[in-house]
Structure 1
Amino acid sequence: MPHLTIGHGVVTPARLKNRFQRHVLTLSVAAASSVVAQGVWAQAPAAHHEHHHALNTMVVTAVPLSSPLTVETDPRIPRQPAPASDGADYLQTIPGFSAIRNGGTNGDPVFRGMFGSRLRVLTNGSQMLGACPARMDAPTSYISPENYDSLTVTKGPQSVLWGPGASAATVRFDRGPEEFDEAGVRVDGSVMLGTYGRFDRRIDAALGNKDGYLRITGNQSEANDYQDGDGNAVPSLWDKWNGDIALGWTPDNDTWLEVTAGRGNGEARYAGRGMDGSKFLRETVGIRFQRENLGEHWKRLEMQANYAYADHIMDNFTLRSPGSMDMGGGMDMGSGMDMGGGMDMGGGMDMGSGMDMDGGMDMSDGMAMRLDRRTRSARVASTWEWENTTWTAGVDVEHQVHRNLDGEHWQPDYEQTQFGAFSEVTRFIDERDRLIGGARVDRYRVSDESLDTATTGLTRRDTLPSAFIRYEQDLASAPVTWYAGVGHVERFPDYWELSSSQAGPAGSLNAFDGVQPEKTTQLDIGAQYNDQRLSAWVSGYAGYVNDFILFDYNTAGMGGTQIDNIDAQIAGAEVGASYQLTDNWVSNASLAYAWGRNANDDEALPQIPPLEAKVGLTYAHDDYSVGGLWRGVAAQNRIALEKGNVVGQDLESSSGFGVFSLNGAYQASNHLTLSVGVDNVFDTTYTEHLNLAGNAAFGYPADLDRGINEPGRMVWARADFSF
């Protein structure tokens, strides 16, 4: 079959045909939805529905706290930098969040320096876990933020309602029920064009009446390789799409039943990995039921069940040209393979023409690896209310199976089952004071199903508790709310940390046998101030982590990878403010700092983001606004060389940088808003501290010890419409 070579990638006619068909389908759905909406709009009276959000005349540059401990926002509003391609990208709008960068898309979110399952990410109340052993498909890579109605972040171990292990934070992307007073249709959508071939389109349409609704959401996002501030191309293209359908029943104001199904796929090229993602198939099915006001004190019953399937392929020939690599500097294949310390084939890699360890790896025929994961979950919760007390209690369960394709046969290599019970109480001491506390207990059963390892067939079982208590007060003397809370979370190691191909703590057979659960105890404090012109907030934390799970990529200088338990100290804070200078001018600023220490070795904890500040200024008048955003990041000299997590490691100390961006928005009508932006106006060349080193396949030096440069100047324009 002939090939078209584009940059470093190889694109077959079949792939071009599939891409063209997806473009036509997306545009056809958008056009048809708009025509239907306009026709019904002309015939039917206006209907009230919860999710018909007002078009915003300002571009969001920072997301403030909605309450002392919680961030709530509408992820459909235009934001800067350029509208997000995935969940991790959007979360970086929130102070305290960063990401381990892959280049263009599919970064892995980090909050306060904490990574992976310490950060629980949910969509409609359930987990969508990826399949890649090195998290090429992190959970947030399957999330298109603008397809959800709300984003809620709860900081710290200060809730037990949404599952186990969330020692850093709980992140929830949710869609709520549609609420039509009478028969009607609504359509929301957007189209965005930008530099480097960026092209996004989204449609969200619903029709229904007071008894029920049908809702369809879909999006497609794509981009080519970007250029850094020096004009050098960085392999980073992506093309991804999602489609979801929801059928809801709302027979009265107290009842909601919804059945959902969704599918998505995509591909992404990674400058910092030895292979790219050529398939990110997502399939989800769910059912949710909610009933309110069941009795005098029984206020709510919630039930849901979910199924999520991820089918992932990574290879070195779909989006790049395979060829021989210089193995002198070692190579991270992006799949848990460390060439310096041996290689676990995982049963799923086709080596094509094989591997010559003396002369390097011949990849002329390419190599590929296919893996999948099925996750099934369920949750039941009830809420009771008395005069001064609210109590929520329930149970949840999750079962996941991870497999790899060995030739023509699927081979399970990991299975996990978790059962949990939780209880959370809010006690209103008086009009201004309240006490919130909760506890949960989780039972785990985890099996190593991989072939030919020291722990094949071994099953681990454990029971882990978590709890918190928090005091909140609204001051009478000022518009201030403050809080202080202590939480304790015991987190069972996840699939990536239990990889049986990796060495575990001293004396253990491997990581699966030896890595112990983390135990985090953390103090969270903060306050929020609100008056007519000034809104300000501060959140601080200090904690101790027993058995912190640490990856060492150069154990005793031997080049191997070891997963170990250490003790760690963590601390930091986020602070932000927004001030109405005049009727038209608004300023905002935020600052985030995280600190960590390896208490065993008396050195820095790795993968901690540096001090970061953001300052914004916006002028808004009538139907338009213009604004600027400056982001400044300090140097990070507190590092632990060659230590980190399953995705990233500390490469070297990083330099500080500053990036300035501009934006504007114009509300052309009640149904149309136009927004534009210039990210990195001065075309600054810079590198994020949390990053991957460039891969030799793209011409990067084999001994490169610094991260990949970020995009240079980018111009984008977006149209949001609503009917």
Structure 2
Amino acid sequence: MRLPLSLLLLVPATTVLAQHAPSPTPSNHDSDEPVLLHPVVVTAPRSEHPFVVELDAKAPAQPMPAQDGADFLKAVPGFSVIRKGGTDGDPVFRGMAGSRLVLALDGQCVLGGCGNRMDPPTAYVFPAAYDKVTILKGPQTVLHGPGNSAGVVLFESDRDRLAEAGLSGHLTTTVGSFGRFDLAADATAGTPDFFTRLAATRTEAGDYEDGAGNRVHARHLRWSVNAAAAWTPNEDTRLEISAARSDGEAAYADRMMDGVVFDRENFAIDFRRETISPLVTHTSLEFGYNYVDHVMDNYSLRAFAPSMMMPNPSVSNPDRRTVGGRATVGLALSPGLSGTIGLDLQRNDHAVRGSNNQNAMPYEVRPRVADARFDQLGLYGEWTLALSDASSLVGGMRIDHWAARDRRTNVAVSMMTSMPNPTANATRDDDLLSGFVRFETRLGRTAARLYAGLGHTERFLDYWELIKNESPTSLSAFDTAPEKTTQFDLGVSHRFGSLHVSLSAFANRIDDFALVQSGFAKPSGMMGTRATVVTRTIDAATWGAELSADWTIAEHWRLDTSLAYVRGKNETDDRPLAQIPPLESRLGVTYSQRVWSAGALVRFVGSQDRVAIGQGNIVGQDIGPSDEFAVFSVNASWRVQRALRLTAGVDNLFDELYAEHVSRAGGMLAGYPQTTRVNEPGRTLWARLDVAF
């Protein structure tokens, strides 16, 4: 079902943030006290700060509750997801993807191993294992590592000291169309002095059908276990030791291989001490170890089909080891000046092994071959200066020393051919500066908040940009210059009675933007030319905004609406910047009673004809223009008891056939129709049961 473009004019020019109502505290359903249910989240909860979005990781949401990190973020205005199958999509925020968007799991950096981004960091995120997700828009902080030109996403667990001895927890199960079945359990037990926490998740689904009834190669199975033990002898001290393990498998509709192992191991130690002296407000020390072992092949999750590029059963097995830490000190230099200074460091090593004929030479017996090492050491400080009771100035700066080594002996120029690497064993060092300054104020005696910030970040290019691709003039892109983003951010939020409106806008200039271009023609001796994938630097600019509102229209009725827009230009080539999502709007209506609620959501996405075919990022390149579409969904929630809630919904109610503009091209798979892009699921029914104890 198509929504005419003119209908967009009827949607308020705002972006919806679905705010949670207060937690109910009734003793039973016969109480005269009203029971206000948490509405199903259709975008994101409202925030006091327009550039900060905070989400409850355990709240029910529409579309169907998320099973990985990208799935979780796609409901937030400004985010899109590059679909490759049923899971492990790559998030895009304001048209930026990859390492331009920093992601941390309880402060830990997770980096994938696959050279074709089969396992982005969000593939190792299990949202049900966390309590809160915080999104910081733009280069408006220096506290969470380098390179956050698009923003920062923090998945966080509750680490507060227990008020009293006891056991508490949360159980969730979700069932849905196409074989979807999730289980998640999270329990905390202990005393005010010591507690332990265990979170376990399991999610699976089969192939889904798009709106035309075509089956999409998308089945997956994922599981995780997170455990933590903390010593909290008083309100100001915490020593925590944690570990995590996860694995899974996933079929992909856009490529010749599937992911059959996504093994992640994590160990971390975190110490924090508060209220040390009038000058030192806190200190913290963190250390983390992450190891990712990823296996992909062309036969385990699909019928093996010989091809010219892969005539035999083939396997690729990259791995990545990341070790890092951080030390911070909080300071209060005066009643109006406070801040945090710190140091962070990281080393990650990438290696790979594989087999072009698994039957004759199993990959398991072959040695791993290291191909890259990255080292980073950063010093930073972030400060807040109170100018008055209503206004403050926030600023920060960091300097990062980067060192990288290209450990490849040869560079593959085809599936069967390799050539000597011109930067074999080469090393490079860069000192990169980042910083920002932001003014925040409340306007008069109103509830309006305003901020304006200018940020600059210099990003060292990642493995995919430097090691995976060639450059326009060499077989190696290892010497490609760092990327430099200078961005102006503006935001305002205000309440007009029962209407709350929030705006965040940005405009930037990106020097040496790392553009990934496929089909780039390069000389090939007697063969003339060959087409390859290169990383090349350009000058670019992007600008856009997210506008939001929620309005309590009557006692039981609430309207939420959202609008997100971004536009980009490749100034070097004088053409549109690739992989920019189109205009998107959402309109949600919720009716809430004492113990039940019901809602409807329409998501409209405009057409996109500003494309640069063959250009893009480390995840994908533009395929061509895309059409507009509209998707209708409905949901309902019933609080059976105080600690028991049932939520159900239907996504894509009218079985619309559509694909996201930024999604990957559909691959040629035996038994599956090939599509221009990987299409989204058709009509999907789901139900979720939450139990708290």
- Are residues 170 and 55 of structure 1, via their aligned partners in 2, closer, same or farther at CA, if it must alter by over 3 Å? farther
Which of 300, 305, 319 is 1:372 aligned to? 319
Deviation at 1:324, TM superposition (A): 2.6
Cα distance in 2 for residues equivalent to 1:713 and 1:171: 30
The answer for the alignment partner of 2:511 in structure 1 is: 546
Residue identity in the other structure for 2:337: T
Cα distance in 2 for residues equivalent to 1:368 and 1:130: 17
Cα distance in 2 for residues equivalent to 1:374 and 1:510: 23
The answer for the alignment partner of 2:430 in structure 1 is: 462
Cα deviation code 1:670-720 (max 9, x no counterpart): 110000000000011111101111111245678x6x211110000000100
State the SS of the aligned residue for 1:497: helix
- Are residues 221 and 87 of structure 1, via their aligned partners in 2, closer, same or farther at CA, if it must alter by over 3 Å? same
Residue identity in the other structure for 1:709: N
Deviation at 1:380, TM superposition (A): 0.6
For structure 1, which segment, 220-229 or 444-453, has the greater mean C-alpha deviation from structure 2 after superposition?
444-453
The answer for the alignment partner of 1:512 in structure 2 is: 478
Deviation at 1:477, TM superposition (A): 4.6
Which of 495, 502, 526 is 2:469 aligned to? 502
Cα distance in 1 for residues equivalent to 2:429 and 2:680: 43
Which of 645, 651, 655 is 1:679 aligned to? 651
State the SS of the aligned residue for 1:146: helix
The answer for the alignment partner of 2:21 in structure 1 is: none
- Are residues 366 and 609 of structure 1, via their aligned partners in 2, closer, same or farther at CA, if it must alter by over 3 Å? same
Which of 39, 42, 47 is 1:58 aligned to? 39
In the alignment, is the contact (CA less than 8 A) between 2:97 and 2:619 conserved in 1? no
The answer for the alignment partner of 1:102 in structure 2 is: 84
In the alignment, is the contact (CA less than 8 A) between 2:161 and 2:235 conserved in 1? no
Do residues 319 (structure 1) and 301 (structure 2) align? yes
The answer for the alignment partner of 1:387 in structure 2 is: 335
State the SS of the aligned residue for 1:244: strand
- Are residues 55 and 490 of structure 1, via their aligned partners in 2, closer, same or farther at CA, if it must alter by over 3 Å? farther
Residue identity in the other structure for 2:469: Q
Residue identity in the other structure for 1:530: R
The answer for the alignment partner of 1:332 in structure 2 is: none
In the alignment, is the contact (CA less than 8 A) between 1:229 and 1:685 conserved in 2? yes
Residue identity in the other structure for 1:384: L
Residue identity in the other structure for 1:58: P
Deviation at 1:179, TM superposition (A): 2.9
In the alignment, is the contact (CA less than 8 A) between 2:396 and 2:436 conserved in 1? yes
Deviation at 1:183, TM superposition (A): 1.9
Do residues 270 (structure 1) and 238 (structure 2) align? no
Cα distance in 2 for residues equivalent to 1:421 and 1:166: 15
State the SS of the aligned residue for 2:423: coil
State the SS of the aligned residue for 2:669: helix
Residue identity in the other structure for 1:267: E
State the SS of the aligned residue for 1:646: coil
The answer for the alignment partner of 1:354 in structure 2 is: none
State the SS of the aligned residue for 1:241: strand
Cα distance in 2 for residues equivalent to 1:509 and 1:138: 25
Cα deviation code 1:52-100 (max 9, x no counterpart): xx99542111104411210011111000000111011111111001111
Report the number of matched residues.
630
Do residues 439 (structure 1) and 397 (structure 2) align? yes
State the SS of the aligned residue for 2:115: coil
Do residues 423 (structure 1) and 381 (structure 2) align? yes
Cα distance in 1 for residues equivalent to 2:580 and 2:59: 29
The answer for the alignment partner of 1:292 in structure 2 is: 274
Which of 397, 410, 430 is 2:345 aligned to? 397
Which of 634, 644, 667 is 1:662 aligned to? 634
In the alignment, is the contact (CA less than 8 A) between 2:465 and 2:477 conserved in 1? yes
The answer for the alignment partner of 1:187 in structure 2 is: 169
- Unpaired runs of 5+ residues, structure 1, are 1-53, 326-359
Residue identity in the other structure for 1:580: T
Which of 707, 710, 717 is 2:677 aligned to? 707
The answer for the alignment partner of 1:479 in structure 2 is: 447
The answer for the alignment partner of 2:213 in structure 1 is: 231
The answer for the alignment partner of 1:210 in structure 2 is: 192
The answer for the alignment partner of 2:3 in structure 1 is: none
The answer for the alignment partner of 1:522 in structure 2 is: 487
Residue identity in the other structure for 2:187: A
In the alignment, is the contact (CA less than 8 A) between 2:62 and 2:651 conserved in 1? yes
Deviation at 1:574, TM superposition (A): 0.5
The answer for the alignment partner of 1:79 in structure 2 is: 61
TM-score (norm: length of structure 2): 0.89
Residue identity in the other structure for 1:490: E
The answer for the alignment partner of 2:27 in structure 1 is: none
Which of 459, 477, 500 is 1:535 aligned to? 500
Do residues 628 (structure 1) and 609 (structure 2) align? no
In the alignment, is the contact (CA less than 8 A) between 1:55 and 1:722 conserved in 2? no
- Are residues 117 and 565 of structure 1, via their aligned partners in 2, closer, same or farther at CA, if it must alter by over 3 Å? same
Residue identity in the other structure for 2:341: A
The answer for the alignment partner of 1:24 in structure 2 is: none
In the alignment, is the contact (CA less than 8 A) between 2:470 and 2:535 conserved in 1? yes
In the alignment, is the contact (CA less than 8 A) between 1:57 and 1:666 conserved in 2? no
In the alignment, is the contact (CA less than 8 A) between 1:664 and 1:675 conserved in 2? yes
In the alignment, is the contact (CA less than 8 A) between 2:114 and 2:294 conserved in 1? yes
Cα distance in 2 for residues equivalent to 1:443 and 1:209: 43
The answer for the alignment partner of 2:98 in structure 1 is: 116
Which of 618, 627, 636 is 1:646 aligned to? 618
The answer for the alignment partner of 2:222 in structure 1 is: 240
Deviation at 1:103, TM superposition (A): 2.3
The answer for the alignment partner of 1:451 in structure 2 is: 409
State the SS of the aligned residue for 2:108: coil
Cα distance in 2 for residues equivalent to 1:55 and 1:247: 34
Cα distance in 2 for residues equivalent to 1:491 and 1:699: 43
RMSD: 1.5
Deviation at 1:410, TM superposition (A): 1.3
In the alignment, is the contact (CA less than 8 A) between 1:224 and 1:238 conserved in 2? yes
Cα distance in 2 for residues equivalent to 1:211 and 1:561: 56
Cα distance in 2 for residues equivalent to 1:198 and 1:509: 44
- Are residues 509 and 686 of structure 1, via their aligned partners in 2, closer, same or farther at CA, if it must alter by over 3 Å? closer
In the alignment, is the contact (CA less than 8 A) between 2:36 and 2:595 conserved in 1? no
- Could you tell me the percent identity over the aligned residues? 42
Residue identity in the other structure for 2:632: F
For structure 1, which segment, 680-689 or 64-73, has the greater mean C-alpha deviation from structure 2 after superposition?
64-73
State the SS of the aligned residue for 2:70: helix
State the SS of the aligned residue for 2:531: coil
Cα distance in 1 for residues equivalent to 2:469 and 2:631: 39
Cα deviation code 1:384-432 (max 9, x no counterpart): 1231111110000000000112552111111010000000110010011
In the alignment, is the contact (CA less than 8 A) between 1:57 and 1:667 conserved in 2? no
The answer for the alignment partner of 2:124 in structure 1 is: 142
Structure with higher RCO (Cα < 8 A, 6+ apart): 2
In the alignment, is the contact (CA less than 8 A) between 1:213 and 1:247 conserved in 2? yes
- Are residues 260 and 79 of structure 1, via their aligned partners in 2, closer, same or farther at CA, if it must alter by over 3 Å? same
